[in-house]
Amino acid sequence: AVREVLLSSGHRMPLLGLGCWQSPAEEVSLAVEAALEAGYRHIDTAFLYLNEEAVGVGLHRWLKSSGTDRSNVFVVTKLPMNGMYAGGVEKFLKKSLAALQLSYVDLYLIHLPVGVKGQHDLDILPKTDDGHIVIDCATDLIALWKEMEQMVDAGLTKSIGVSNFSIKQIRRLCAIARIPPAVQQVELHVHFQQRKMQEFCRNNNIVITAYGPLGSPGRSTADTVPRLLDDPVVRLVADRHGVTTAQVLIRFLIQQGIITIPKSTNPQRIKTNGEVWNFSLTEVEMEALKSIDKGEAGRSFTFASFPGLDEHPEFPL
Ligand code: A2P
């Protein structure tokens, strides 16, 4: 099976990665080691996840113990909303590189399409006295993209991309880009298949990374949405292959050339989630899974934890 996709940047990116959102720093080092040991070669983190240092510890421990060269692991991190000001890209990428103990990352993404107002030199999102963040609707995405391109020139990242951007926002970047975005990372799974986004990205040579492939059952608001892992169609397909529903959800994506980053800090689940290369879904099964798309109703992430973002003219995406 093909385990990588070719990006427009000319670099190859593994279809399966370990997601690290909501992975506590004290657990994520072991999770990263377990993933690499299980054959994952792609780790997804972000400045905002507050665990880059621990991700770096796990990564370097495994590279050393296995005698593997750093170039064999694809590392992704992201520019936080408080880094979205003139000069912020280099400053925040360098902070991430220092935390990860790396001289470059493989992919640097703009985490969200809007910045925040307030003090920019903090390592956490600036908040008002009553605990809110204030969205900066004047964020200059074009200027930021030019800074992103300079990071490739400087060798601090191999590829650049975006996350949680709308089609309109990506179009705006593509119109001026010297180096077009190689990747768009968004929520995407059987219940929320993002058909329009998929088509747009396919036509523009942008690869999608699907986050929340398992429906993000660990999220605080998780019980308000239907559970993917219990979906009867997914269950039926899983039973036919003698695999877990999580494996079906992951296989469904990678079999379409969509990169995905299931999150787990449990070594056993990390291992089984990675065992998706020795079975394949039939055309009929793929069609059945495509038919359980709920469209907008299947969306889990609304960024309600960022007050004001849902009212932004381009949210939800
Ligand atoms: P844990 O870290 O304890 O394994 P998503 O990637 O869609 O955001 O989902 C991540 C959530 O799914 C985490 O809460 C994770 O918990 C859980 N999870 C990961 N793998 C599995 C699995 N194979 N079966 C059930 N839950 C899983």
Check if the beta carbon of residue 293 is closer than 8 Å to that of residue 50: no
Residues 6+ apart with CB under 8 A from 96: 47, 52, 77, 105, 108
Q: What does residue 208 show for φ and ψ, rounded to 5 degrees?
A: -95, 135
| pLDDT on residue 128 | 81
Check if the beta carbon of residue 27 is closer than 8 Å to that of residue 49: no
Whose Cα sits closest to atom 15 in ligand 1? 264
The per-residue pLDDT for range 175-228, each reduced to its tens digit, is 999 999 999 999 999 999 999 999 999 999 999 999 999 999 987 665 555 689
Nearest partner of 158 among 79, 88, 103, 100, judged by Cα: 103
Residues with CB under 6 A from ligand 1: 19, 212-218, 229, 244, 246, 262-266, 269, 272-273
Ligand 1: which of 27, 30, 209, 266 to mutate, judged by most atoms within 8 Å of the beta carbon?
Answer: 266
The model's pTM is: 0.95
The per-residue pLDDT for range 264-290, each reduced to its tens digit, is 999 999 999 999 999 999 999 999 999
Determine which one of 40, 49, 85, 211 is catalytic: 49
String of DSSP letters for 119-185: -SSSSS----TTS--EEETT--HHHHHHHHHHHHHTTSEEEEEEES--HHHHHHHHHH-SS---EEE
- What is the assigned CATH class of domain 14-306? alpha beta
Q: Identify whether 49 is a catalytic site residue.
A: yes
The per-residue pLDDT for range 151-177, each reduced to its tens digit, is 999 999 999 999 999 999 999 999 999
111 is an annotated ligand-binding site residue:
yes
Q: Please give the radius of gyration of the chain, using alpha carbons only, rounded to the nearest integer.
A: 19
String of DSSP letters for 188-201: -BTTB--HHHHHHH
Q: State yes or no: pLDDT of 1 exceeds 60.
A: no
The per-residue pLDDT for range 100-144, each reduced to its tens digit, is 999 999 999 999 999 988 877 778 888 888 777 888 888 999 999
What are the residue ranges spanned by the domains of the chain?
14-306
Residues 6+ apart with CB under 8 A from 92: 47, 79, 80, 83
Average pLDDT over residues 2-9: 93
Report which ligand 1 atom has the smallest distance to the Cα of 215: 7
- Cα 264 to its chain centre, rounded Å, is 14
| pLDDT on residue 314 | 64
Average pLDDT, the chain: 93
Give the DSSP H or E segment for 309. none
SS3 call for 296 = helix
| pLDDT on residue 129 | 81
Q: State yes or no: pLDDT of 232 exceeds 70.
A: yes
